[in-house]
Structures are given as C-alpha cells and as structure tokens.
Amino acid sequence: MTQLTSTDAFTAIAAAIMDRRTVKQFLPQPVDQATLTQLIELAVWAPNHRLNEPWRFYVLTGDARARLGDIAGAITAAKISGAGGDPAVVARKAGEAAAAWASVPTLVYITMLGDPNPEVDLENYGAVCCAIQNFTLAAHAAGIGTSWSSGAVAAAPELLTLVGAGANERMAGLLRVGYLDPATTSPKSRRTPGTAFTRWMA
C-alpha cells in the first residue's frame, strides 16, 4: 500500500474521489459541448461485463430544459395538490420547481438498456452507475460540479418521452452539471471508515 500511495496517479484519483461533492449551485454559463463530449468519453470506460455498452446519454439544452422544468412543475403540483394543499401554494411551489430545474446550466439524462435476463439487467444497471461515477469524478477534476438525481423528476415517464428513449430504456440518473462558483464553499461530508463494513474471510 505504501508503494501504491506514493504514485502521482493514485494521489490524483484519491483526491478526486474524496473531494467530490454533490453541487446544486453553479455559475450561469452552460458547460460547452466539447467538454461534455470529453466527460462522456471518459464515462463509457466504466467496467462493462459482456461489453454491451448499456448506457445512453441525453444532453438537455434550450427548450428541452424548459420542458423538463414543466415536467418538474407538474409533478410538484400533483404532489402538493394531492395532499390537500392550497391552490395558491400549489401554483407557487410548482412555478419554483419548474424554474429551479429549467435554470440549471446543463442537464444530462442517463438511461440504461434493460434486459429480460435478470442477471444481464443487473449488470447493465451496475455498469451505467459506474459510468455516471466516472462522469462526476472527471467533471470534478475539471472544476465542474454535478448532482446525481434519481427522484421523482428523473423517474418521470414523461422525461423518457421527451428525449425519445427506446422502449427498453430506463432511467439511471439525471445530472445537474455546471461550472463551480469560486465564491461558494464546498459542502463538507463524512464517511464511516470502510473497515467498519469489511470482513476478511479465511
């Protein structure tokens, strides 16, 4: 381990892994297409049993972002209205949700190819999650923040329709992506040491 940790490559990778944080506040300019392409090219070097490349990337720009905002607004309205919320509150919260998503500088929607074989399907999901991690780590190293969402907005069937996903595609994540604001303090985080979850079997 001493020899491993003395290499520049190990130090750089360890720093990216430990320093990366979920970021939702960005500078207003979108990430340029060339940079996004580089990040996606790194993402697809994820471990991929059978090399069936089950990932699909959809970059939402312009009107597509606004339409995603509409989807988020409708989901929020339905949730609050279903709980008996006041119509004025419903309208305000729906508008805030729509504006929040539509204002994200860059949105990348990632899907996985499903498979009727449960073993392959699980492998595909694992591979796509690894690809997303590759993307977020590479983005962090480039001074770009990300936030990986898999909640109600990301899971909305309307989003699959919006991007024209195939019938066998399922959501793996919706990434907020943007340049970090140097005036913003990086959020702190912590992890329980891995040894607490490790058993050495002989």
pLDDT of residue 183: 82
pLDDT of 4: 63
Q: Are 177 and 105 in contact (CB under 8 A)?
A: yes
DSSP code per residue over 171-194: EEEEEEEEEB-TTSPPPP-----G
Instruction: Count Cβ atoms below 10 Å from residue 35 Cβ, excluding itself.
Output: 17
pLDDT tens-digit profile, the chain (202 residues)? 456 666 888 889 999 999 899 898 899 999 999 999 999 999 999 999 889 999 999 999 989 999 999 999 999 999 999 999 899 999 999 999 999 999 999 999 999 999 999 999 999 999 999 999 999 999 999 999 999 999 999 999 999 999 999 999 999 999 999 998 888 777 788 999 999 999 999 9
CA distance to 59, 69, 110, per residue, from 62 (Å): 10, 11, 18
Of 108, 190, 96, which Cα lies nearest the Cα of 145?
A: 108
Q: pLDDT by residue (tens digit) across 102-153?
A: 999 999 999 999 999 999 999 999 999 999 999 999 999 999 999 999 999 9
Q: What is the pTM of this model?
A: 0.91
Q: Which letter, b or e, does each residue of 166-198 get, where b requires 16 or more Cβ atoms within 10 Å of its Cβ?
A: eeebbbbbbbbbbbbeeeeeeeeeeeeeeeeee
Count of helix runs (H) and strand runs (E) in the chain = 7, 4
Ordered by where they begin, the domains of the chain are 23-61+105-180 (3.40.109.10)
Q: Is the dihedral of CA 99, 139, 23, 44 positive or negative?
A: positive
Which of 27, 31, 5 lies closest to 18 in space, CA to CA?
Answer: 5
Supply 143's token pair. Answer: 């001074």
Order of all β-strands in the sheet with 169-179: 55-60, 106-113, 169-179, 144-149
Q: What is the pLDDT of residue 3?
A: 61
Radius of gyration of the CA atoms of the chain, in A: 19
Look at residue 2 in the predicted model and tell me its pLDDT: 56
Q: Copy the structure tokens of residue 80.
A: 């609050």
Q: What confidence score (pLDDT) does residue 5 get?
A: 63
